[in-house]
Chain A
Amino acid sequence: MVYLTRKAEFSASHYYHNPDFSPEENLRLFGKCNNPNGHGHNYTLEVTVKGEVDQRSGFVVDLKKLKDIMNREVLDAMDHRFLNKEVPEFFNSIPTTENLAIAVWQRLQPKLQQARLHRVRVYETPDLFVDFYGEE
Chain B
Amino acid sequence: MHAHLTRRYRFSSSHRLHSAAMSAEENRETYGKCNNPHGHGHNYALEVTVSGPVDRSTGMVCNLVDLDECVSKEVLSRYDLENLNHLQEFAVTVPTTENLCIEIFEILQRAFPHAHLERVRLEETMMNSFEYTGSNPARR
**Interface of A with B (CB < 8 Å)?**
3, 16, 18, 20-21, 29-31, 93-99, 101-102, 119, 126-133, 135-136
Contacts and interface: CB of A to CB of B under 8 A. Distances in A.
Contacts, number: 65
Interface string B42-82: 00000001000010011111011100000000000000000
A126 B8 CA distance: 8
A20 B57 CA distance: 8
Given A93-B59, A130-B5, A135-B1, 10 more contacts: A3-B140, A94-B58, A94-B59, A99-B54, A102-B1, A119-B140, A130-B61, A131-B5, A133-B139, A135-B2
19 contacts: A16-B58, A16-B59, A18-B57, A20-B57, A30-B58, A94-B59, A96-B60, A97-B5, A98-B1, A98-B59, A98-B60, A99-B54, A126-B8, A127-B7, A128-B5, A128-B64, A130-B6, A131-B139, A136-B2
Interface string B1-44: 11111111100000000000000000000000000000000000
Contacts of A126: 8
Contacts of B9: 127
B99 to A, nearest CB: 24
Given A94-B58, A98-B54, A131 B3 contact: yes
A87 to B, nearest CB: 14
B63 A29 contact: yes
Contact of B8 (A16, A20, A127): A127
Contacts of A129: 5-6
Nearest to B10: A127
Q: Quick one: which of A95, A126, A127 has the most chain B CB within 10 A?
A: A127
Q: Quick one: which of A3, A95, A99 has the most chain B CB within 10 A?
A: A99
